[in-house]
Chains A and B, each alone.
Chain A
Amino acid sequence: MSPWKGWAWAALLIWLGVVLDQGAAASFQIGPGRPAFALTFALTIALFIRPSGGAILGFAVGFAAGALSGVGMTAQIISTAIAAYLAAFAAKQPAELAPMPAAAIVAAAVLLARLGTIFVQPAGGIGPYLASASISALLCAVISLAVYPIARRIFQPKEA
Chain B
Amino acid sequence: MLCVVGIALGGIQGAAKRAGRMGPTSRAVHAVVDKPSSLVAGGLQGTSDFFTGLKQSPQLTAQNRDLKARIAFLEAEALKTAAESRELDELRALNSLPVHPGREKIYGDIIRFDPFELRMTISVGSNSGVKPRLAVMTPEGLAAIVETVEENVCQAVLITSPSIKLGASAVREGGRVDGIIAGDTPNTLLFEVVRNAPVEVGDKVETSGLSRILPGGLLIGEVIEVTDAPELGSRLIKVFPATKPALSQQVVILK
Contacts and interface: CB of A to CB of B under 8 A. Distances in A.
A134 B26 CA distance: 27
Interface in B2-22: 2-3, 5-7, 9-11, 13, 17, 22
Interface string A45-78: 0000000000110010011101110111111011
Contact of B33 (A18, A55, A71): A18
Nearest to B48: A27
A34 B253 CA distance: 80
A15 interface: yes
Interface string A7-51: 000000001001111111011000000000000000000000000
A159 B38 CA distance: 41
A71 to B, nearest CB: 7
B99 interface: no
A81 interface: yes
B interface: dominant SS = helix
B44 interface: yes
A interface: dominant SS = helix
Interface residues of B, number: 29
Contacts of B13: 66-67, 70-71, 73
Contact of A81 (B6, B30, B38): B6
B6 to A, nearest CB: 3
Given A77-B2, A78-B3, A66 B36 contact: no
B41 interface: yes
A64 B33 contact: yes
Contact of A67 (B2, B11, B25, B37): B25
B32 interface: yes
Contacts of B232: none
Contacts of A55: 2
A59 B2 contact: yes
Contacts of B25: 63, 66-67, 73
A21 to B, nearest CB: 8
A81 B17 contact: no
What range describes how many residues of A lie at the interface? Answer: 20 to 34
B38 to A, nearest CB: 6
A77 B10 contact: yes
B44 A27 contact: yes
B62 interface: no
A22 B34 contact: yes
A22 B10 contact: no
Interface centre among B25, B30, B45, B48 (most CB of A within 10 A): B25
A6 B153 CA distance: 98
A64 B13 CA distance: 12
A14 to B, nearest CB: 11
Contact of A68 (B6, B30, B40): B30
A119 to B, nearest CB: 13
Task: Name the 8 nearest CB pairs between A and B, nearest first.
Answer: A74-B10, A77-B6, A23-B40, A23-B37, A22-B37, A67-B29, A23-B41, A73-B10
Interface of A: 15, 18-24, 26-27, 55-56, 59, 62-64, 66-68, 70-75, 77-78, 81
16 contacts: A15-B32, A18-B29, A19-B36, A19-B40, A23-B37, A23-B39, A23-B40, A27-B48, A63-B6, A63-B29, A67-B25, A73-B6, A73-B9, A74-B6, A74-B10, A81-B3
